[in-house]
Amino acid sequence: MTSQSFDYIIVGNGLAGLQLGLRLASDSFFAFKKIALIDKSAKTENDKTWCFWEKGHGKWQDIVYKTWEHGLFLSEEKRVELDLAPYYYKMIRSGDFYNYCKTKLKTFSNVSFIEEEVTDVEEKQEVEVITKQQTYQAKHVFDSRLPKAFSVKAKSSISIQQHFKGWLIETKQEAFDPEQFVMMDFSLRHRESTSFGYILPLTDKKALVEYTFFTPFLVEDQTYDALLKEYIETRLNLHNYKISETEKGNIPMTNFPFYKYHSEKITKIGTAGGWVKPATGYSFKFTEKKVEQIIYNLKNNRNPAAQLQQKKYPFYDKIYLSVLANHNHKGKWLFENFYEKNEIQDIFKYLDEETSLTEDFKIMKSLFSFEFIQAFFRTL
C-alpha cells in the first residue's frame, strides 16, 4: 500500500463535501493547500432535489432549476396563501449541482478527486484515511460518514424520519400553476400520521409530486406508490399522466449529538455533522452557513468545528421532535398553526436560526397545546 499526503481530505462528494471543497479551492488563502475529495461514486446521477429559500440572487443562481415567489399550505380545513417576498423558494437538481462543483474544482491544480471507498479514518500524528486500495494522510479530515454510534432508534436521542417518494409527472392537459408550489398538503394522510403531499410545478404540464412522512416509522415501497397514485388521482384529479422520473429518500430529523464526534483533526460534516435542520430536514442553506463558519475558523487558526453548533435552536428543535415522536397525529395541527398564525417571512427567519428571543416566543406561542407544553417541560 502506498501513501499520499494532503493538507485537507474531504470524505464524501455530496452536498457538504462539494460545497466545502469548492469554497476551500476558490479562496486564495488556501491556494497552496493540497486538497483531496474522496468518494466511491463519480456523482453523475441526478439522485435528489434540493429546495431552499433565500432573498434575491444567491451564489448558486447559475444552477437554480426553478424559482417560485408564491406557495400554498393546504389541509382539509385550511388554505393558506404564502407570498414569499422578499424571499424566493428555489429548486436545484443534484445532477446539476454535482456537475457544476466538479467542473469548477477540476480547474484548480491543488485539488485531487479520488474515486475509492473509504473504509476507516484514524487520527494519529496525521489523520489516516484508509480506502480499499490504499492509505492517504492529511493534516485535517472533513468526514461526511455517519458516526457508528448513530441510529434513529437510539434511546439517547429523539429521532423522526423524513422519508418520501416523488414522481416527476407529465400531463397532456394544463394541470399545474407553475408560479405556485405546494409546501404541504395534509388533505390526504396515512393513518392520522404526519404525512402530506408536496408539489413543485415546473410547467403547467409538468411537476414533481412527492408524498412525505415525518414519522418514527417507515413504510413499504408500495405504500408510497399507492398514496402517490391516490393523491394525484383524487386530490389533483389527474388520471392521464406519465411518470418520467422517480426519486426516493430518507432524511434523519434528530437531536442526536453529532457535534460530540468532532475531534482535533477530524470534523464531521453534512448529515454526520448535524447540518440537517432537525425541525424540517432542510440542509442546503444550512450547509452553506456551516461551510462559511469552517472557512472563518481555518483562516483564524481555530478548530474547524468551533461554533458550528447553535445554543438555543437545538432546544426548540427537541421540543418539536418530542411532540412528533410522542403525538405524531398532532403534526397536521402543529403545521396548520405554524403557517396560519405566522407570516411566512417570520417562519423562514426562524427556520434559518436568525430570530431574536421575542420573535422565538411569538412562533412558540402559536404552537402552544397540551402536548407542546408537555414536550417543553420534558425538554427542560
CB of 38 within 8 A of CB of 148? no
Q: Is the pLDDT of residue 374 over 70?
A: no
3-state secondary structure (DSSP) of residue 290: helix
Residue 377 confidence (pLDDT) above 90: no
Nearest CA-CA partner of 319 in 194, 213, 155, 160: 160
Is the model's pLDDT at 57 over the cut of 60? yes
Four-point Cα dihedral 207, 254, 380, 353, nearest 10: -50
What integer pLDDT is reported at residue 151 of this predicted model?
79
Task: Please say if the pLDDT value at position 375 is more than 70.
Answer: no
Percent of the chain at pLDDT exceeding 70: 96
At 212 the pLDDT is 98
Rg (CA), the chain: 21
> Can you tell me which residue has the cell 449541482?
97
Q: What is the pLDDT of residue 376?
A: 59
Spatial distance between the Cα atoms of 335 and 348, rounded to a whole number of angstroms: 14
User: What pLDDT is recorded for position 99?
Assistant: 96
Each residue's pLDDT tens digit, 268-297: 999 999 999 998 999 999 999 999 999 999
pLDDT at 309 over 90: no
DSSP-assigned letter for residue 294: H
- Please state which of the ranges 82-96, 303-317, 360-374 shows the lowest mean pLDDT: 360-374
Buried b (16+ CB within 10 A) or exposed e, 198-207: bbbbbeebbb
Q: What pLDDT score was predicted for residue 117?
A: 96
CA angle 94, 219, 93 (to 5 degrees): 10
Query: pLDDT category, 127, cuts 50, 70, 90?
Result: very high
Task: Give residue 370's pLDDT band: very low, low, confident or very high (50, 70, 90).
Answer: low
How confident is residue 378, by pLDDT bands cut at 50, 70 and 90? low
Mean per-residue pLDDT for 294-319?
A: 92
pLDDT at 145 over 60: yes
pLDDT confidence band for 103 (50 / 70 / 90)? very high
Report whether the peptide linkage leading into residue 278 is cis, meaning its omega lies within 30 degrees of zero.
no
Q: State residue 279's pLDDT score.
A: 85
pLDDT confidence of 1, banded at 50, 70, 90? very low
**Which pLDDT score is estimated for 372?**
62
pLDDT at 190: 97
Measured between alpha carbons, how far is 201 from 67 in angstroms, rounded to an integer? 10
Query: Which residues have C-beta within 8 Å of that of residue 9, sequence separation ≥ 6?
Result: 35, 36, 37, 38, 127, 129, 136, 138, 140, 141, 142
| pLDDT of 380 above 60 | no
Question: How remote is the C-alpha of 373 from its chain's centroid?
Answer: 28
311-350 pLDDT, tens digit per residue, is 899 888 988 899 899 999 999 999 999 999 999 999 999 9
Mean predicted lDDT score pLDDT of the chain: 94
SS3 103: helix
Cα(220)–Cα(160) distance, integer angstroms: 17
Residue of higher predicted confidence among 378 and 285: 285
**CA distance linking residue 274 with residue 278, whole number of Å:** 8
Helix axes 15-25, 94-105, angle to 10 degrees: 30
Please state, in angstroms and rounded to a whole number, the distance separating the CA atoms of residues 165 and 93: 15
- 7 touches 85 (CB < 8 A): no
Distance CA 350, CA 278 (A): 13
pLDDT in tens, 3-47: 699 999 999 999 999 999 999 999 999 999 999 999 999 998 888
Q: Determine the Cα–Cα distance for residues 73 and 361; give it in Å rounded to an integer.
A: 22
pLDDT tens per residue, range 176-223: 999 999 999 999 999 999 999 999 999 999 999 999 999 999 999 999
